[in-house]
Structure 1
Amino acid sequence: MTYQDPYRLSTTPPHTPVEGPDAVSSGDVLRTLLWAVVVVGVVANMVASLAGADTLVHLACGVVTVLAAGTLVLRGLRGRR
């Protein structure tokens, strides 16, 4: 009888390279990182607003957020083709 961990997301044993439909692609990792950058940029802009930071801080947070969001949109549009 084999023990199956109920909290495991895949059926492959640990430390086994995953290929096929269960594999995480580099595109998935990039999309997750871009979403994290968007969220961090928005939160940083909110914190800067509450702290009364300089306009340059708001612009930097906004530019980073817009670039990450724009990249997500472009990748989404290219993926539809």
Structure 2
Amino acid sequence: MTHQDPYRLTAPPAGTRTGGADDGPDAVSRGDVLRALLWALVVVSAVASMTASFGGAPTWVHLASGLVTVLAAGTLVVRALRGRR
């Protein structure tokens, strides 16, 4: 067994497993990244909708931000329901 230095600045030799984040059970999947981005989109679009409401923005701004909020939240719900199966 060889010891890998976690603070190494050079790339390990080809074909060796480094034990990095992409190898273990704690790796971040694409689904996790997508869920985080969708939640951020829900929050940003909801804040934009509230800001438009208080700022007296045109109707199309309210509709656009509301549509983005509903689509992102709906996508989160669909992904959560499909993940239960």
TM-score with structure 1 length normalisation?
A: 0.79
Moved over 2 A (4+): 13-18
2:79 matched residue in structure 1: 75
Query: RMSD of aligned C-alpha atoms?
Result: 1.9
Distance, in Å, in 2 between the alignment partners of 1:77 and 1:19 is: 28
Distance, in Å, in 1 between the alignment partners of 2:35 and 2:83 is: 12
Q: Which of these two proteins has the greater Rg computed from alpha carbons? A: 2
Identity percentage of aligned residues: 70
1:24 match: secondary structure: coil
1:48 matched residue in structure 2: 52
TM-score with structure 2 length normalisation?
A: 0.75
1:23 matched residue in structure 2: 27
Higher relative contact order (CA 8 A, sep 6+): 1
Structure 1 unmatched ranges of 5 or more? 1-12
Aligned length: 70
